[in-house]
Structure 1
Amino acid sequence: MLAAMPDSAPSPVSAGGASPRAGGDACPGTLRLHRADDGALARVRIPGGVLDPGRADALLVAAERFGDGELHLTSRGNVQLRGLGTECGGGLAGLLTDAGLLPSAAHERARNIVASPLAGLDGSPSLAGWLAELDRLVCGSPAAAALSGRFLFALDAGGGDVDALGADVTLIARGPDALLRIGAGDEVFRVPADAAPRAALRAAEAFLRAAHGGAAAHAAAAAPGSGALQDSGSPASAASQDSGSPASAPQVSAAWRVRDLPDAVRTELVRSIGATAGPAVHHPRPRHRKAAAPAPGPVGATAAVSVGVPLGRLTPAQWRLLTETARRYGGELRLTPWRGIVVPGPFPRQEAAEALRALAGAGLITTADSPWTGVGACIGHPGCAKSLADVRAEAGAAVSGEGSAAPAAGRSAAGAEAGAAVGRPGRLPVYWSGCERRCGHPHGEWIDVVATPDGHRISHVRGERREPTTTVRNDDPARLAAAVAEARAL
């Protein structure tokens, strides 16, 4: 079985450089499991993070029947099931298909769509129509079956939250129109709102042609008047569809994502899209966002409630409570790219407070002053063979102010104070990684804590820039907690 790369792991190619990839995309899904140290892993794509209670029930059944019973949220609002038996593939796929969670076997890893989780709840426009239509178009496009499991669509309600994630194709609601962004560039194209999902798909198909054909072939295919952004199934898309069936779509691309394209090819890709979409508009992508995630608590008075999930891991009891809350009120769960969940209402005011109390009692984050707010970690040891540390336990120890193995009586004042400070509101997010891959790390501005053979390296990340680092020895957990708290306070 091919090794897999989690949602936000770094691409193995440098931005602007040609990809050395010689094999197919190895990202896990529900039909291709990844073997980890704690058993097999499946990743279930949840477009926009939107789940109705019935599908949420099915995910829990799958986790309890085939895995360790827990559900893990990813940095793209998807769900991972861990501890799976290696022979569960057929049963898992059948269960998810029956629940409507696997509408196209050929496209199951291509349905990577994030959406603003508060769309339609905080005064921003609803994105439900765009989300349903884009998912339908992706699943109906033979060419889109060749998209990497890492290629990302984003639907932004206008506030910049998911636009800041640097997706490959982003749609931004803007009045009666939409803005179409390709990659992380600061230029966007204005398109009619009702044509936005189709424009997003065409841009993804154009990316595939660029990735497969290189600069010269793409320039010829995407020249103005060539129909480069015509519907799937048109003669212009034949090169990326072969016989027109999903099974025959090319499965090996020269690049996983837009940023992996050589500079000249990426520039030509954007130019070709502009030739069909219209003049470019300068609209810089948001950067260094500290508070893009919905704040825990009530949303828009009582239009919804928002909770965070410590380290993105949900027990069966927590998942059942969330599902029952959704079933009683809005009938929907929205999984966020920041490992949280929004339950749309409306909630009667008193019942919103009661729901939040129950969710807090179950161990979920319901207030901004929770010590867990902004704290994340990869799966770490022992779940991942590459990890050099049990970073989840270390993150928890830092949050609580307790050294990883030190008795409470022996804790230093610095360690106790650091633990109290690490989750205070207004602090920068912090992400603990067990190795240099930093799987699932956040975007924008954050504190990066990486386990190394010599200790934990701490640095301040601002978009593409990384500040000078500090290294703390592995045998000094109190100093580690203090150093992390100090870094988050910058």
Structure 2
Amino acid sequence: MSRTTADSCPGVLRLHEAADGPLARVRIPGGRLLPQQIQALAAAAHRLGDGNIELTSRGNVQLRQVRDAAELAGLLGDAGLLPSRSHERVRNIIASPLSGRIGPHPDIRPLVTALDTRLLGSPRLAGLPGRVLFTVDDGRGDVSGLRPDIGIHGLDDDRFALLLAGRDSGVRIPASAAVDTLVAAAHGFLELGTGQWRLQEIDDGVARLTGLLGCSPGTERLEIAEAAGPPIGWLPQDDGLVALGAGVRLGSLPARTAEFLAAIERPILLTPWRSLVITDLEEGPAEQAVRVLAPMGLLFDADSPWLQITACAGQPGCAKAHTDVRADAAAAVEAGRTTATATVEARAVSAEAVVTAGRQHWSGCGRRCGRPAGQITDVTATPDGYQVGFPAD
């Protein structure tokens, strides 16, 4: 399939004209943010945006209602969040957030850094569509299920499985060749593509790309499971320190809360589940962080119903949305209607009549933007009300 229009994913230098104003998307490879970068994002949201930092399903962030694009670029550039004006939209790298801190899996953090460096260093790769997704999974299987265009999945013998178009290609590569293979695959995508935004849109793309790479797929195939949920709560690290996994309601982090996160002075990891992980804490500071941040709305309870809910921008941010879905979803959570026995309705119903349970995505229209992969209940706004579609539908 060939696209008739160019990829229009926003960045910092190319804003999207949303219904509520210009929107910027900042790529955060591997989700890693230093304290000064969190502070810069908080300042940008407060001074130049609507006062919130939106977390995305690719571990990136968005700022809405940007009032001064040049000032935003300067502020983020000074913080190291805009290392290249030509490559800023192609740095979509999701990595296992707990890698190197928790569990017996290999530490893939150096691979993420090396991959980002190589992407930035190739003028040709600036031409990748902004929707192309790389994943680096250390073997625990938390991010491979996010259907990457190009990814690697750690195995037990210092090798990686090469993932292409969301599935195991059958190719096995040594750890020492992992970054070279990812970069070569990105070049191969450009060679094969005729305007497509994703590898799965290219006819016979996986077979043709493995041929370009000169790889011989084996017969073994990993079963790629549905992506895991966010790590939430008290997470003991292997080095004796503590990480804190925190959910963010509907993925919207107030700038004031981000300022408190920056003040902790520890690296923060953004996850593709619109949550974050505060890393490398002593137990005392970790306990204090929970006492301060929980009343500000961060979620440290893995059983919180908020962790089951995602939503698109809705009104007023999107002109195509039929209603303010975030407000409706929040009202449903607060009323306990997202953990009740689900009801099946053939017709559209009012927001107050939506009753459902489990993982669910609220959408302002039939495009269902931001919908997570996997089995999920769709709560979709129509001109006549909400239509609820259960996973078995």
Q: TM-score with structure 1 length normalisation?
A: 0.73
After TM superposition, give the deviation of residue 54 of structure 1 in Å.
Answer: 1.0
After TM superposition, give the deviation of residue 80 of structure 1 in Å.
Answer: 0.2
CA distance in 1, matches of 2:217, 2:206: 17
User: Aligned partner of 1:89: which letter?
Assistant: A
After TM superposition, give the deviation of residue 309 of structure 1 in Å.
Answer: 0.2
Residue of 1, 15, 19 corresponding to 1:37:
19
CA distance in 1, matches of 2:101, 2:251: 23
What residue in structure 1 maps to residue 344 of structure 2? none
Residue of 45, 58, 73 corresponding to 2:40:
58
Quickly say closer, same or farther: Cα 1:196–1:288, change in 2 above 3 A: closer
CA contact (8 A) 1:58 1:99 kept: yes
Q: Is it true that 1:287 corresponds to 2:213 in the alignment?
A: no
CA contact (8 A) 1:295 1:367 kept: no
Deviation larger for 294-303 or 88-97: 294-303
What residue in structure 2 maps to residue 3 of structure 1? none
What residue in structure 1 maps to residue 345 of structure 2? none
For residues 246-274 of structure 1, what are the alpha-carbon distances to aligned partners after superposition, in whole Å with 9 as ceiling and x for unaligned? xxxxxxxx200111112x3443223333x
- Map 1:1-150 → 2, pairs under 5 A: 18-19=1-2, 21-85=3-67, 88-123=68-103, 124-150=105-131
CA contact (8 A) 2:52 2:252 kept: yes
After TM superposition, give the deviation of residue 402 of structure 1 in Å.
Answer: 7.4
CA distance in 2, matches of 1:400, 1:62: 30
CA contact (8 A) 1:296 1:366 kept: yes
After TM superposition, give the deviation of residue 149 of structure 1 in Å.
Answer: 0.6
After TM superposition, give the deviation of residue 361 of structure 1 in Å.
Answer: 1.0
Gaps of 5+ in 1: 1-17, 213-253, 404-414, 462-466, 469-490
CA contact (8 A) 2:168 2:224 kept: no
- Map 1:71-470 → 2, pairs under 5 A: 71-85=53-67, 88-123=68-103, 124-174=105-155, 175-212=157-194, 254-262=195-203, 264-273=204-213, 275-276=214-215, 278-289=216-227, 292-300=228-236, 303-325=242-264, 327=265, 331-348=266-283, 350-401=284-335, 428-461=358-391, 467-468=392-393
CA distance in 2, matches of 1:143, 1:460: 43
Quickly say closer, same or farther: Cα 1:188–1:279, change in 2 above 3 A: closer
CA contact (8 A) 2:20 2:317 kept: yes
CA distance in 1, matches of 2:89, 2:142: 23
Task: State the number of aligned residues.
Answer: 375
Percent of paired sites with the same residue: 43
State the secondary structure of the residue aligned to 1:105: coil
CA contact (8 A) 2:99 2:138 kept: yes
After TM superposition, give the deviation of residue 280 of structure 1 in Å.
Answer: 2.8
CA distance in 1, matches of 2:49, 2:124: 33
User: Aligned partner of 1:280: which letter?
Assistant: G
CA distance in 1, matches of 2:333, 2:232: 18
CA distance in 1, matches of 2:110, 2:205: 32
CA contact (8 A) 2:169 2:217 kept: no
For residues 428-477 of structure 1, what are the alpha-carbon distances to aligned partners after superposition, in whole Å with 9 as ceiling and x for unaligned? 3111010111111111221111111232122234xxxxx32xxxxxxxxx
What residue in structure 1 maps to residue 340 of structure 2? none
State the secondary structure of the residue aligned to 2:307: coil
After TM superposition, give the deviation of residue 127 of structure 1 in Å.
Answer: 1.8
User: Aligned partner of 1:64: which letter?
Assistant: H
CA contact (8 A) 1:287 1:444 kept: no
CA contact (8 A) 2:42 2:256 kept: no
CA distance in 2, matches of 1:25, 1:271: 26
After TM superposition, give the deviation of residue 99 of structure 1 in Å.
Answer: 1.3
After TM superposition, give the deviation of residue 384 of structure 1 in Å.
Answer: 0.9
After TM superposition, give the deviation of residue 281 of structure 1 in Å.
Answer: 5.0
After TM superposition, give the deviation of residue 119 of structure 1 in Å.
Answer: 1.0
Q: TM-score with structure 2 length normalisation?
A: 0.90
CA distance in 1, matches of 2:247, 2:295: 13
Query: Root-mean-square deviation (CA), in Å?
Result: 2.2
After TM superposition, give the deviation of residue 34 of structure 1 in Å.
Answer: 0.8
For residues 318-350 of structure 1, what are the alpha-carbon distances to aligned partners after superposition, in whole Å with 9 as ceiling and x for unaligned? 11122222x0xxx201000000000112432x4
Gaps of 5+ in 2: 338-349
* 4+ aligned runs moved over 6 Å, structure 1: none
